[in-house]
Structure formats: structure tokens, C-alpha cells
């Protein structure tokens, strides 16, 4: 049975501001209320929100160490030094590597290599293996992207090997900053850059922007890189406010109008070439295919295999030939299919294990361990388990003699503190409030499980274990006119900090016969109407929500909360309500 959700309708925005904006913008008060709820309470703020301008991007030289970074790259280019572009194996890291690599080639530097660590052999971040590779290849400058802010010892080791590092990261630094040539990270406490929520690829783009600015390269000549950047922004789930909104807005424009060969091949394989691609499309279709490559273990006996899955992803993203890109994309897509099959299988095994241990079902947290599970998908499995059990979850497996895993949290609970409370049992760990990675010796699994569960049991508020749906506003179906939908679309791109609005409509009934669809009849498709006049009929889809089918089929009323989306089917675009939750109206 699905978990009952708690609906919370947000407080309305300040009435005077709502009325003022509605009058000036000639927009529905429902939509201007959304603006005010999001802190956009003046005409000036609204104009900036609806009309993002590239000229409003911040000067990249406001970021600490930017001048040092540009000067070191200038010296490397002047002396024809070999430069290695190094990045993490996820979407943010691989897009960042592709972006900087493509720019350096664009300005004529050909003495280049790139390196993506292997999740299974290198581990996360700057690795000894990667530094040794650089030294063997004669690299004297490495540009690390989406990693490196805590690589204090690795940077020292690299110096001993004759390799300088420029670090471009966006994660929280520790007290000690690595002694690299330059450390670009807007989250540094000594950095006064005005916006600190850039993705790792975003920091890489600011480095490119700085170099271009200093060398009088027009911005329009680096705009083509924004398609990579928006894929990073969407996939890394950074706030879509400030600079990120501007970069994502123009990145989506580029992705829809003139994407690079590599991204075009992914767009086609996702079936998105005739769609207006949105942040959601990146998050659920494009990003996972790039991510899948870094999750998969390469066949060490295959001489033609890439050094790492992430390496294969970058090969695709930098490829300029459409035919070759399609061949790379087929490989990436096969990784994604394999990943989905393994993810589905492991999730089912984890479910079966929990269901066969009644004592686990009553816990306020979940810790599951199987040494045979693939390291690259345990984070996905943890998220899947939360969808079913909705509680802080840790999924563990064995890798290179250690137990390693991923932890995921629920809204409002600080997972990092829970993991940190077990730090004496761990070899290392890292993360933030809602996600963490950890490694321990096998003999510590039992003690970790007990202590983690005890910590959660003691510190979590039971109310947090009831998932919450945040609703922006109540709405009648008759309010959802074509003009309303057009104005709502102008709020895009949606994402953290500017989420797609959730509306609630009450007293809806089925118009015609609802249908269960999907391979396992797990989705509910239905047309709904309200008995209040006028009573238009709305197409809806409720993913993974078959529970109330018989109630709805009988003609009884329901309340629904939903997002308003465009549905593309056989060349026809219609307005559809994507239902997030359903509550039967019991009279």
C-alpha cells in the first residue's frame, strides 16, 4: 500500500504585491501569487525573472584565484604544455570536462588529454592513479572539475610528480584549502563571488568566460558550450535562481535549437528531437544516460573498452561528427539499459529482504547490505527504497575489500549528522543533509547498522516520516485556459528554488472510463471534470498510483494535486495534469 501523504497549502503572498503585479503584468492573480511566494514581489524583480539576460552574469574575475588560474593556463598554452582536463564520473563532472576540453581545443591548444576516474578502481575525486597517469603522459597542468576541494594530500603528491593543479569545485571546503595553483570554489569562506550555487560545470564555465574575457573573445563564441552547462545544472539539482537561471535559460535555448553532436545523439535516442526540451527531460532522460556510463564497471578483458564509463561519456560529449556520435551514443544507451536492469533487480532484492524481516519494517530507518550488489547503483536503490518506505536509508555493498555505500534522507532530517555520529566506525564519509557516501571495514557493518538506526530513532520527528506534498495554490479546472498555460510556461525553467507549481483541485470526478496503463498496470490515466460550471474536461496521468482506481471508476469524488504539463503524442501537444497525489472525498 502507498504511504499516505500530508498536503500542505502554502500561505498566500502579500495581497498588495500580488494585486500590483497582476495589474502591471496583466497576469492571473493565481500566477502573480506564485511570484510573490517565490520572493519576486516587485516589477523590477519580475522583469528580471521573465527576461533573463546574459549581460547580468557576474564578472568571473570576482571569484577568488581566477586571475591565477587564467595566468597559469596562458603560460601552459604559450609553452605548449600538455594539459589534462580531469573530472568526476557523474553528469556534472563529465559535462564539465567536455566543456573545458572543447574550449581549449577551440582556442587552438591541441596538447590535451582528459581523464575521468573509474568509480571502482580510482574512487571519487582526484586519485593517485589519475595523477600517475598524468605524470606518465607528460602532463604539467591538470584542471580538476567538480572535485578536488578536499584533495590536500593529492595536490602535494601531484606537485612531487611535476603536475600543477587548478581546482574548479563547488562543494563545501574543509578548513584547509589544497595548495594548488588556483582553487576556484564560490563556497570558499574567503571568496566574495556573488553567487555560490554554481554546479561544478558552472565553475568550469566561469573559468572559460574569464579566459575569453581577458583575450577579447566575444561571449557569443562560447555560447555553444551552454548546452553542456544546462545538462549539468539540471542533473546536479542546483538551485535554478540567480546565475543558474540565466545560464539554464540560454542553455535550454541552445539545446533545443542547435545542440552539439553528442547531445543531439542522446536527444534522438530519447525520442526528444521533436519536443521542446525542458529541465525535466534532462533530469529523467538525458542525464541518466550520461550518468549510467560512470556507474557501470568496465570489462577489463575488453581491449576496446574505455578506461572508465565516464571516459566513454566524455568521448561522446566532445565528438563533433554526427555519425560517430551516434555510435558512441549507442554504447552509452546500452550502459543505461544495463543499469536499469541491475537497478530493478537489486531494488527488488532489497525489498524482498526488508519484507522478510518484520523487525525492519517497524524501524524508522533502513540499512541493507549485500556484498554482491554493484557499487554504482546503490544510491539509486536507496532512493527507490525511500519511495516505498519513506525513511532515512543506507544501502551497502562490498568493493575492493571494504564495505561501501550510499545514504539518502527524507525531507527535514539531517542524514549527514546521523552518519557522522558513526564516524569512529567508518574509514571515510562525506556528503550533505540529504545524501552521503561512506566506507567501512566489513566487521563494522553490524555495529554501524545498530548505531545508525538508534540515532535516527532517537532524533527523527515522527511527523517527518509522513511524506509532504507542498501545494502552491487551489485552482479550478476552468482556470486552466490556454492563456493561463502560456503564462505558466514563462516561469520556466523549473527546478530547485523555482519548482514547477503544484495546484490542488477539489471535488473532481471521472469523465468516461479511467484506465490502468503500463507494463504492470501501475499507472492511472483518466479524464477528470468538476461539477462546478463551467466544467471543462482535463486529461490526467497518475504515475504509480493505481490504488483509487475502483473508487474513481464508481463515479465518486476525489481531490487531486498536480502539475500542469504539456503532453506530446504522435505530433499533437495537449495540456495534461500530472497528478502527484489523490485523496478520495469521503462524505
Tally the residues of the chain: 587
The mean pLDDT value for 523-533 works out to 89
Q: Give yes or no for a contact between 66 and 74, defined as CB atoms under 8 angstroms apart.
A: no
pLDDT in tens, 10-27: 999 999 999 999 999 999
Domain enclosing residue 552, as ranges: 6-12+469-584
Give the pLDDT confidence score for residue 309 in this predicted structure: 65
Selection from 164, 272, 250 nearest residue 202 by Cα: 250
In a domain, 110, yes or no: yes
Is residue 520 located within the same domain as residue 401? no
Mean of the per-residue pLDDT values of the chain:
91
Q: What is the pLDDT of residue 307?
A: 58
Cβ pair 419, 429 in contact under 8 A: yes
Q: How large a percentage of the chain has pLDDT more than 70?
A: 96
Instruction: Tell me if 571 is assigned to some domain.
Output: yes
Indicate whether 17 belongs to any domain.
no
Coil vs helix vs strand at 182: strand
444 belongs to a structural domain: yes
Asked whether residue 305 falls in the same domain as residue 161, the answer is yes
Query: How far is Cα of residue 587 from the mean position of the Cα atoms in its chain?
Result: 42
> What is the reported pLDDT for 303?
47
Per-residue pLDDT reduced to its tens digit, 111-164: 999 999 887 777 678 999 999 999 999 999 999 999 999 899 999 999 999 999
Whether residues 193 and 239 share a domain: the answer is: yes
Q: Is the dihedral of CA 55, 61, 66, 70 positive or negative?
A: positive
- Together in a domain, 200 and 303: yes
Are 482 and 457 found together in one domain?
A: no
Pick the range with the lowest mean pLDDT from 251-255, 307-311, 437-441, 565-569: 307-311
Q: What is the CATH number of the domain that holds 208?
A: 3.90.1640.30
Task: Identify the domain boundary among 303, 334, 365.
Answer: 334
Is the pLDDT reported for residue 498 higher than 90?
A: yes
pLDDT at 1 over 80: no
Please check whether residues 299 and 434 belong to one and the same domain: no
* Antiparallel, parallel or unpaired: β 473-474 and 503-510: parallel
**Domains held by the chain: number:** 3
Terminal alpha carbon distance of the chain: 23
**Is 204 part of a structural domain of the chain?**
yes
181 has pLDDT over 60:
yes
Residue with cell 469521503: 586
Question: Which CATH number do you get for residue 381?
Answer: 3.10.310.30
Answer with the one of 265, 300, 334 that is the final residue of a domain: 334
- Local confidence band at 312 (pLDDT 50, 70, 90 cut-offs): confident
pLDDT of residue 542 exceeding 90, the answer is yes
Q: What is the mean pLDDT of residues 519-537?
A: 88
Structural domain includes residue 35: no
pLDDT at 4: 82
pLDDT tens by residue, 212-235 = 999 999 999 999 999 999 999 999
- Same domain, yes or no: 161 and 275: yes
Task: Give the pLDDT confidence of 354-398 residue by residue, as tens digits.
Answer: 999 988 888 999 999 999 998 888 988 999 999 889 999 999 999
Q: Which of 432, 465, 498 is the last residue of a domain?
A: 465
Provide the pLDDT for residue 334. Answer: 82
Mean pLDDT, rounded, for 201-221: 97
Mean per-residue pLDDT for 330-344?
Answer: 82
For residues 18 and 31, is the Cβ–Cβ distance under 8 A? Answer: no
What distance in Å separates the CA atoms of residue 333 and residue 522, rounded to the nearest whole number? 25
Same domain, 409 and 527: no
Q: In this structure, are 475 and 457 located in the same domain?
A: no
Tell me if 243 sits within 8 A of 198, measured CB to CB.
Answer: yes
Consecutive H or E run containing 193: none
Does residue 109 sit in the same domain as residue 199? yes
Residue 399: per-residue pLDDT = 86
What's the rounded mean pLDDT across residues 423-452?
90
Instruction: Tell me, yes or no, whether 43 lies in a domain.
Output: no
Q: How far is CA 562 from CA 137, 376, 397, 542, 576, in A?
A: 54, 33, 37, 9, 10
Lowest mean pLDDT among 39-53, 308-322, 343-357, 549-563: 308-322
What's the grid cell of residue 145? 572539475
pLDDT confidence tier of residue 434, bands split at 50, 70 and 90: confident
Give the pLDDT score at 297: 58
Higher pLDDT, 313 or 80: 80
Q: Which of 148-157, 425-434, 443-452 has the lowest mean pLDDT?
A: 425-434
The answer as to whether 474 is a domain residue is yes
Q: What is the CATH number of the domain that holds 486?
A: 2.40.50.460
Residues 428, 540, single domain; the answer is no
State yes or no: pLDDT of 29 exceeds 60: yes
Give yes or no: residues 120 and 218 share one domain: yes
Amino acid at each position: 500500500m502507498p504511504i499516505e501523504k500530508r498536503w500542505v497549502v502554502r500561505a498566500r503572498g502579500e495581497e498588495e504585491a500580488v494585486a500590483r503585479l497582476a495589474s502591471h503584468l496583466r497576469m492571473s492573480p493565481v500566477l502573480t501569487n506564485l511570484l510573490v511566494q517565490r520572493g519576486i514581489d516587485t516589477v523590477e524583480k519580475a522583469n528580471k525573472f521573465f527576461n533573463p539576460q546574459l549581460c547580468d552574469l557576474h564578472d568571473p574575475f570576482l571569484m577568488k584565484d581566477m586571475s591565477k588560474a587564467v595566468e597559469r593556463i596562458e603560460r601552459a598554452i604559450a609553452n605548449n604544455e600538455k594539459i589534462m582536463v580531469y573530472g568526476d564520473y557523474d553528469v556534472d563532472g563529465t559535462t564539465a570536462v567536455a566543456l573545458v576540453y572543447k574550449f581549449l581545443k577551440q582556442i587552438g591548444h591541441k596538447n590535451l588529454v582528459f581523464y575521468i576516474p573509474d568509480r571502482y578502481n580510482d574512487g571519487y575525486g582526484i586519485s593517485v592513479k589519475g595523477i600517475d597517469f598524468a605524470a606518465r603522459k607528460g602532463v604539467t597542468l591538470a584542471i580538476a572539475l567538480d572535485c578536488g576541494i578536499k584533495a590536500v594530500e593529492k595536490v602535494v603528491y601531484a606537485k612531487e610528480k611535476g603536475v600543477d593543479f587548478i581546482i574548479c569545485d563547488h562543494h563545501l571546503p574543509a578548513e584547509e584549502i589544497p595548495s594548488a595553483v588556483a582553487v576556484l570554489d564560490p563556497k570558499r569562506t574567503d571568496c566574495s563571488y556573488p553567487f555560490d550555487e554554481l554546479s561544478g560545470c558552472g565553475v568550469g564555465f566561469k573559468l572559460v568566460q574569464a579566459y575569453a574575457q581577458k583575450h577579447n573573445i566575444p561571449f557569443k563564441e562560447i555560447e555553444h558550450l551552454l548546452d553542456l552547462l544546462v545538462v549539468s545544472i539540471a542533473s546536479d539539482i542546483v538551485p535554478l535562481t540567480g546565475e543558474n537561471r540565466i545560464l539554464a535559460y540560454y542553455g535550454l535555448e541552445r539545446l533545443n535549437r542547435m545542440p552539439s553532436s553528442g547531445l543531439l545523439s542522446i536527444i534522438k535516442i530519447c525520442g526528444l528531437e521533436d519536443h521542446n526540451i525542458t529541465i525535466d527531460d534532462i533530469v529523467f532522460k538525458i542525464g541518466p544516460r550520461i550518468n549510467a556510463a560512470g556507474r557501470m564497471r568496465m570489462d577489463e578483458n575488453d581491449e576496446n573498452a574505455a578506461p572508465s564509463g565516464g571516459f566513454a561519456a566524455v568521448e561522446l560529449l566532445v565528438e563533433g561528427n554526427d555519425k560517430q556520435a551516434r555510435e558512441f551514443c549507442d554504447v552509452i544507451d546500452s550502459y543505461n539499459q544495463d543499469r536499469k536492469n541491475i537497478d530493478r533487480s537489486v531494488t527488488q532484492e532489497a525489498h524482498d529482504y526488508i519484507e522478510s524481516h518484520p523487525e525492519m519494517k517497524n524501524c524508522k530507518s533502513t540499512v541493507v547490505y549485500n556484498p554482491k550488489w554493484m557499487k554504482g547503483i546503490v544510491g539509486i536503490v536507496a532512493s527507490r527504497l525511500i519511495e516505498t518506505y519513506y525513511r532515512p536509508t543506507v544501502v551497502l555493498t562490498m568493493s575492493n575489500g571494504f564495505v561501501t555505500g550510499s545514504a539518502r534522507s527524507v525531507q527535514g532530517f539531517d542524514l549527514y549528522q546521523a552518519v557522522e555520529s558513526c564516524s569512529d566506525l567508518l574509514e571515510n564519509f562525506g556528503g550533505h543533509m540529504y545524501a552521503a557516501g561512506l566506507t567501512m571495514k566489513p566487521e563494522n557493518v553490524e555495529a554501524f547498522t545498530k548505531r545508525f538506526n538508534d540515532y535516527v530513532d532517537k532524533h527523527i520527528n515522527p511527523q517527518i516520516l509522513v511524506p509532504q506534498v507542498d501545494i502552491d495554490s487551489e485552482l479550478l479546472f476552468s482556470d486552466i485556459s490556454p492563456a493561463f498555460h502560456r503564462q505558466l510556461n514563462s516561469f520556466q525553467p523549473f527546478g530547485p528554488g523555482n519548482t514547477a507549481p503544484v495546484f490542488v483541485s477539489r471535488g473532481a470526478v471521472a469523465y468516461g472510463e479511467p484506465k490502468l496503463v503500463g507494463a504492470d498496470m501501475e499507472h492511472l490515466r483518466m479524464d477528470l471534470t468538476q461539477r462546478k460550471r463551467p466544467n471543462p474536461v482535463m486529461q490526467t496521468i497518475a504515475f504509480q498510483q493505481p490504488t483509487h482506481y475502483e473508487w474513481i471508476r464508481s463515479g465518486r469524488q476525489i481531490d487531486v494535486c498536480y502539475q500542469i504539463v504539456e503532453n506530446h503524442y504522435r505530433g499533437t501537444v495537449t495540456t495534461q495534469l500530472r497528478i502527484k497525489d489523490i485523496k478520495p472525498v469521503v462524505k
